[in-house]
Each structure stands twice: as structure tokens, then as C-alpha cells.
Amino acid sequence: MKRNLFFSVIGAAVFSAALSMSAQAAQDCAAPDTTWNPDAAGSPVLSGTTCGHETGITQVCGSNFNAPGAAYVALINVTAAGSFSTITFANTSGGTYTLAAYFIAQATGCNTNGTCTTSGSTATTAKHANLGPGAYYMVITGADFDNAAACGTFTATANGTLPVSLQSFTVDG
């Protein structure tokens, strides 16, 4: 019994460490984060850092923007009905960088200089209406006017379409 318990505890520790390592893996063009799938209520919030991730993107959106440094890359799927109406971004690092987000169709390629469908920042939300159905690389980085080492933490929150809740109920008769 003690031996089985020992191996169970060791197995759980190894499994937990493996999960921690996979959560810390680089979120870049070669291996984007595919875990963010917000539900109708917009949960969960995506939290991360641009530091230590993709550095190969130098220009995006048909040369309209330069990517100043490290970028966090997630691959999201947008359905026609959608699970969100907007995605709101927040820079949680303070003044260390100016957050910018770009949505590039997966078919175009992550680190190509193709056109962007829409972009977002802490001042502008990304709207579902501007993203047609399909898979997109969501690239979160610093603004093109930031310095080359600009990076920091962020959150991305999807604003889901919430069902109408029953406020009152009466029976006549």
C-alpha cells in the first residue's frame, strides 16, 4: 500500500511538472498558443507575456507596421456565430511597452508580411464583426514606435454574447 502511494505521488509530481513545462513553452509562430477558447461568457481571460517569445516578425499588415520586438502568438478559431463580440487588450506591465495586437489569417502565415484582418490595442478593441470565419494568428507585441527590446505582460478578454436571463416570472389566471 505504501509503495503504491509512493508511486502515485511521484507520478502526480511528474505529471504536474510536465504540465508546468508545457505552459511555459514559447508561444511563437512555430508553436502558437492554441489553448485560449473563451466560452460564451468570455471566460477564461488570456494572460501572458510577450517577453521571450517570437522575435522573427519584423513587419506586419502589408508593411503598415513594424514589429519592435518579442511577440506572443496564439492561434484562434473564429466561427460565423462567434463566441465573442470583442476582444479587449490590457497592458499589465505599466509603461514598459505599448501593447499592439494583430490578427493574421492562418493561410497567410504567421511571420509573413501579409495583410491583417484587424488590429487591437489597449485603446481599441478587436471586433468579431471584422474577423470573418477562419483561423487567425493573434500576435500580441509592442507598438511599432517602441524600442527593439520592448516587451511586457498583457491580458486579452473576450466579451461573449451572454444569454438573456429571466428577471421575473408570473402566472396569470
pLDDT along the chain (173 residues), means of 10: 41 36 65 84 87 82 76 85 79 86 88 78 80 87 84 88 38 59
pLDDT of res. 38: 78
What are the backbone angles phi and psi of residue 145, rounded to the nearest 5°?
-95, -5
Helices and strands, number each (H, E), in the chain: 1, 10
Domain containing 148: what range?
26-159
Grouping H, G, I as helix, E, B as strand and the rest as coil, residue 76 is strand
Asked whether residue 81 is assigned to any structural domain, the reply reads yes
| C-alpha grid cell, residue 78 | 473564429
Asked whether residue 61 is assigned to any structural domain, the reply reads yes
Asked whether residue 63 is assigned to any structural domain, the reply reads yes
Q: Are 125 and 96 in contact (CB under 8 A)?
A: no
pTM, to two decimals: 0.74
Q: How many CA atoms lie within 13 A of 48 on its CB side?
A: 30
pLDDT of res. 172: 61
Asked whether residue 164 is assigned to any structural domain, the reply reads no
pLDDT of res. 155: 94
Asked whether residue 169 is assigned to any structural domain, the reply reads no
Asked whether residue 30 is assigned to any structural domain, the reply reads yes
pLDDT of res. 94: 78
How many structural domains does the chain have?
Answer: 1
Asked whether residue 112 is assigned to any structural domain, the reply reads yes
What are the backbone angles phi and psi of residue 66, rounded to the nearest 5°?
-100, 140
Asked whether residue 10 is assigned to any structural domain, the reply reads no
pLDDT of res. 154: 94
pLDDT of res. 171: 60
CATH number of the domain that 110 lies in?
2.60.120
pLDDT of res. 83: 62
